[in-house]
Structures are given as C-alpha cells and as structure tokens.
Structure 1
Amino acid sequence: MHYTFHQLKVFLKVADCQSITKASEELHLTQPAVSIQLKKLQDQFEIPLTEVVGRQLYVTDFGEEIARRSRRILEEAEGIKYTIDQYKGLLTGKIRISVVSTGKYVIPYFLKPFMDLHPGVDISIDVSNKNKVVDGLIKNESDFSLVSVLPEAVKIDKVELMENRLYLVGHSEFLNRVKKPKDLGKVTLLYREQGSATRKAMEQYIDENKIVVGKSMELVSNEAIKQAINAGIGLSIVPLIGLRTALKREEIRIYPLKGLPIITNWNLAYLKDKELTPAHQGLIKFMEANKQEIVNKHFDWALNPLDD
C-alpha cells in the first residue's frame, strides 16, 4: 500500500465537505486534481471509500473508518515536526479555538502577546454561535472554546479571563420612556437568536422583573443588534464589547436600570480529560499569568463604562 499524506489530506477534506467541488475550493485545487488524488487512494482498496446517490456524494462506513485513521496518521506526522522543534527549545504546535460571536472582540487581545512570544505556534479561530462552539469542543474539533456560559453536560476545565458585563443599551430617543425595568414593556426589545447566552441572560432579567414584553425583534449577531440600536429600532441587554465606538456617539447610551449590569465571565474552556500538547499547556500558563495585565490595558472601559 503506497498512499501519500497528500492523498489522505484530500480524502479527509472530501469526507468533511461531502463534496468534491467544496473540497477543491477549500484546498485551492482544481476539481480534476481532487478527483485524481481521490481515485489514486481508492485504487489501493477493494472496498469503496465513497458512493454517489443521485448527485450527492456520501462517505461509506469503510470510508469513515479510513478517515478516522487518516486523521490520526496526519496528526502523528505533524507531531514529528513539533517534537523536533521542542528538542530545539521552541514552543510549536497547533491550537484550534472556537469562539462565540461576541468573543471575537475579546480573544485577539489575549492571543496577540502569546503569538508574539511563540511565533512557532499556529492558531486558528472559528467564530460561531454558542451551540456550535460547545458541540465543537465536545467533539474535539476545537482545543479551546471562548464562552461566557459553560456547558453543563461535560467535564470542563477553564481559565477565567475577565468579567462579561451586560448593560441595557439603546438610542437616546428612549431617554424619557425607559426609567425602570417595567418600562421595557413599552418599547421594542432586540433579542439574539435562540441558544445565545446573551439572549438567555436577557430573558432571565425580563422574567425576574416580571416585564410584559410588547414588541420584539430577533437578530442573529451582536453586529445586527448594534445596527438596530443605531437605527433607533429598540433596546437590548448586551455585552459592551464591540460597542465602544457607538457609545461614544451622543445618540447611543447605557440605561442604568435596577439589576443591571448582568455579570458573567469570559472563560477559555477545554475538556477536563483532554490530552494537552505543550502548545496547549503554554497557552493556559500564559493566560493565567498575563490575563489581568491584558484586561487592564484593553478592557478597563468595558468594566467601568459609566466612567469612560
């Protein structure tokens, strides 16, 4: 059997995408090039790796097993390079981090000094909604997840990076209409999508204050919430991260209602039983040692917004 690492990489991408076309796009190869590599690998097995039903490509059970073993082979091969670097005294490796949408305003500030210190570590970031982020962590598709609410169904270790404070934010035109929690029933409330930790916190506040919601609108990202606030559509309870510029404009303001802010924590979470590489361990130690300095430098305004 004479398969190559390149053939295994191509097959894995086809298996992940369930499509030669999509795999070729992600690999930056032509479709014929992907098909040729897939055929060369298939020629070494008597059992099919894939099958086409209608116009859809599917990976067979045998193909799924080969894909799992191929992933381990490639990881071990990549590990040889990192082992050599470690013997040279260099910290190298790959770190995959999944981040909830609001976290994209947080994680770069914590990663930059680590990356400057360890240029041999490759870091990839995937931004998605909370459910996908947690699912990716459980399936080991990511090494770490940046979340404000920890999953309850799995055993997790974490580094608490900083507080995540949620305030009521809206256009200044609501100034004389919203002075106490129950006044929120008279305006349009802007919600994140179902499953969002921000939405859960907002709904809990509304329930605890027995607010009867009138009009509401659901949006799928904090950026969409920000634009709706800018347009004067309504108000929302949101993290201030990503809103600093908007808040400096006179028409956008924080409404200091009773019971606010809601305070959670940004956590860099990872599976308790995960086998940590030297790069993973290095990131954890760096975060623990430097998080307060990073928070003081970049996020003091978000923790004390009414003094900004």
Structure 2
Amino acid sequence: MNYTLHQLQVFLKITQTKSITKAAEELHLTQPAVSIQLKNLQDQFEIPLTEIVGRKLYVTEFGKEIALAAENIINEVYNINYKTSTFKGILTGKLKISVVSTGKYVMPYFLSDFTNKNTGIELEMDVTNKLKVIHSLKNNEVDFALVSTLPAAVKIESEVLLTNKLFLLANKNSALPDTKKTGKHLSNTPLIFREEGSATRIAMENYLSKQGIQAKMKLQLTSNEAVKQAVIAGLGLSIMPLIGLKNELENGNIRIIPSKNLPIVTNWTLIWLKGKKMSPAATAYLDFIRKEKNSIIKEYFSWIESY
C-alpha cells in the first residue's frame, strides 16, 4: 500500500460531503484534482470505496471502514504536530464547537480573547439547529456544544456560561394587555414559533400548554432573527430569548409583555461527552472559560440583569 496522507484527507472529505464537487470546494482544490486523488486511492484496493448511482455518490460499507481509519490516522498526525508545538511552548490544534442557532449571540464573546491570545488554535464553529448539534456531540465530532437545554439521552459534563431568559414579545405598536388577561389575549393573537425541535419552540409550547392557551394562528420560522423581524413587523407575538434583542429593546422596536410565569429561565451551557479525552486545545479552552467567564459576563452581558 502506497496511499498518502493527502489521499486520505481527500477521501475523508468526500465521505463527509458525499460529493466530489463539495469536497473540492471545502479543500480549495479543483474537481479533477479531487477525482484523481480518489482514483489513486481506489487503485490500491480491490473492493470499491464509492459507487455512483443515478449520478449520486455513495460510500460503500468498505469505504466507510476506510474513512474511519483515515480519520484516526489524520487525527494522530495532528496530535504529533500539536505535541511538538506544545513542547516549544506554543498552544496549537483544532477546537471544534457546535452551537445552537441562537447561541451565535453568546459563543463568540466566550471565544474571542482565547483565540486572540492563542493564534495557533484553529477554530471550527458550526452554528446549526439543536438536532444537528446533539448529533455531532453524540458522534464525538466536536469538542464542545453550546445548548440552552441539556440533552436527556447523552452522558455529558457541563459548564454553565450564562443565564438565558425568555420573554413574551411584541412590536412597539402592540397594546399591552392586563397581566391577568394575557392568556385570553394570546388565544386571540397570531403567534410566531420557531421550527420543530428548536429549544425555543419547545419552551414556548410548554408555556402555552401549562397556561391552557391554544394558539389561534401560527407562523413558523427557522431562525430567531427571522422571528425577531416578524415581531417587529407586527405579524404576531412570540416567546423569545432575551439574548440578541438588546438593540431592539433599547430603541423600542420590541416590547416585553408582562406575563404570568414569565420569563422562562434556563442556562446557556457548554457541554461535552462524559469521559472525553480532550485535546490540549480543548483542555486549555475549558481552563480559560472557568477562569474568565465571570469577567466576560460582566463586560458583555450585564445588561441582561436589568430585565
């Protein structure tokens, strides 16, 4: 066998993207270059690594086994490089974090000082929906995940970063009902929801259920930013996390409707797999968070306490 590390890297990316075109884009290579590397690797095996069915690329079971081995080899090579740099007194390595979509208003502030001080760290932050975040965590594809509700079916360890508050929100022209009549008001007002599976959606549905409120009309949107703009435009009311609404609250485009049993209070929590063997970069980041999170909260998020 004479396969190269580069061939393994290309093949691994192909298995992850299920596409030569997408693999080429992510590797910053041309399509022909990726195809050649795949062919050169395939020529060393009698069993197919991939197959094309209806112009779509599929990875064979054998190919999946080779991809897993390739990933382990590549990770070990990275570890050799990281250990060499560590002995030189330089912190290097990849730090992989998966973040639920609303967490984009939180996570960057807990990363910037760390990455600025450790320029040898290569950061990969994926902002996506809750289901994909938990999937990547369960499959050990990331070092950490940021969530607002803890997953029940995964054994994890955690570090709370920040309080998460959810309020009932309306635009600046909406009438504010009497607190005792909020339930009736919500039953007769269009409500704006996040998509199925969203932690914000689950929190909103649980609140409405406990209050015995049935939505008259629903509008479903796939991001907090879209929900925020819909509320501002007057399309309806929504229960949303306070984070990401600072400017809109200060300029009066969005108003909080005082409501019984609100706000809903949870936590933005950094989680990782229980018993995970952390890389030097991940270990250093966790140490940084534990030492610096209070000063980060004070500098960037103290405004939350006024609501």
- Per the normalisation by structure 2, the TM-score is 0.96
- Per the normalisation by structure 1, the TM-score is 0.95
CA distance in 2, matches of 1:20, 1:114: 35
Deviation per residue, 1:5-26 (Å, 9 max, x gap) = 1111111111112221221222
CA distance in 1, matches of 2:64, 2:218: 45
Equivalent residue number for residue 175 of structure 1: 175
Deviation per residue, 1:106-140 (Å, 9 max, x gap) = 00000011112222221110011001101110011
Give the letter for the 2:154 counterpart.
Answer: V
Q: State, as a whole percentage, how many aligned pairs show the same letter.
A: 52
Instruction: Select the residue among 282, 286, 289 that pairs with 1:287.
Output: 289
Matched positions, count = 305
Equivalent residue number for residue 208 of structure 1: 210
Equivalent residue number for residue 297 of structure 1: 299
Give the letter for the 2:156 counterpart.
Answer: I
Gaps of 5+ in 2: none
Equivalent residue number for residue 145 of structure 2: 145
> 5 Å matches for 1:91-110?
91-110=91-110
Equivalent residue number for residue 257 of structure 2: 255
Tell me, yes or no, if the aligned pair for 1:178 and 1:184 is still in contact at 8 Å: no
Give the letter for the 1:268 counterpart.
Answer: L
CA distance in 1, matches of 2:34, 2:248: 46
Tell me, yes or no, if the aligned pair for 2:167 and 2:241 is still in contact at 8 Å: yes
Give the letter for the 1:270 counterpart.
Answer: W
CA distance in 1, matches of 2:175, 2:272: 42
Equivalent residue number for residue 32 of structure 2: 32
Q: 1:163 and 2:163 equivalent?
A: yes
Deviation per residue, 1:16-67 (Å, 9 max, x gap) = 1222122122222211111111111111112211111221211111111111
Q: Residue 161 of structure 1 aligns to a residue in which SS?
A: strand
Equivalent residue number for residue 50 of structure 1: 50
Tell me, yes or no, if the aligned pair for 1:181 and 1:209 is still in contact at 8 Å: no
Gaps of 5+ in 1: none
Equivalent residue number for residue 221 of structure 1: 223
Greater Cα offset, 253-262 or 148-157: 253-262
Tell me, yes or no, if the aligned pair for 1:165 and 1:303 is still in contact at 8 Å: no
Equivalent residue number for residue 240 of structure 1: 242
CA RMSD of aligned residues (A): 1.3
Compute the displacement of 1:274 (Å). Answer: 0.9
Q: Residue 174 of structure 1 aligns to a residue in which SS?
A: coil
Equivalent residue number for residue 278 of structure 1: 280
CA distance in 2, matches of 1:213, 1:224: 19
Q: 1:89 and 2:89 equivalent?
A: yes
User: Which of structure 1's runs of 4+ aligned residues deviate more than 6 A?
Assistant: none
CA distance in 1, matches of 2:38, 2:76: 21
CA distance in 2, matches of 1:303, 1:191: 25
Compute the displacement of 1:97 (Å). Answer: 0.3
Deviation per residue, 1:246-296 (Å, 9 max, x gap) = 222234211121211110000000000211112111111111111111111
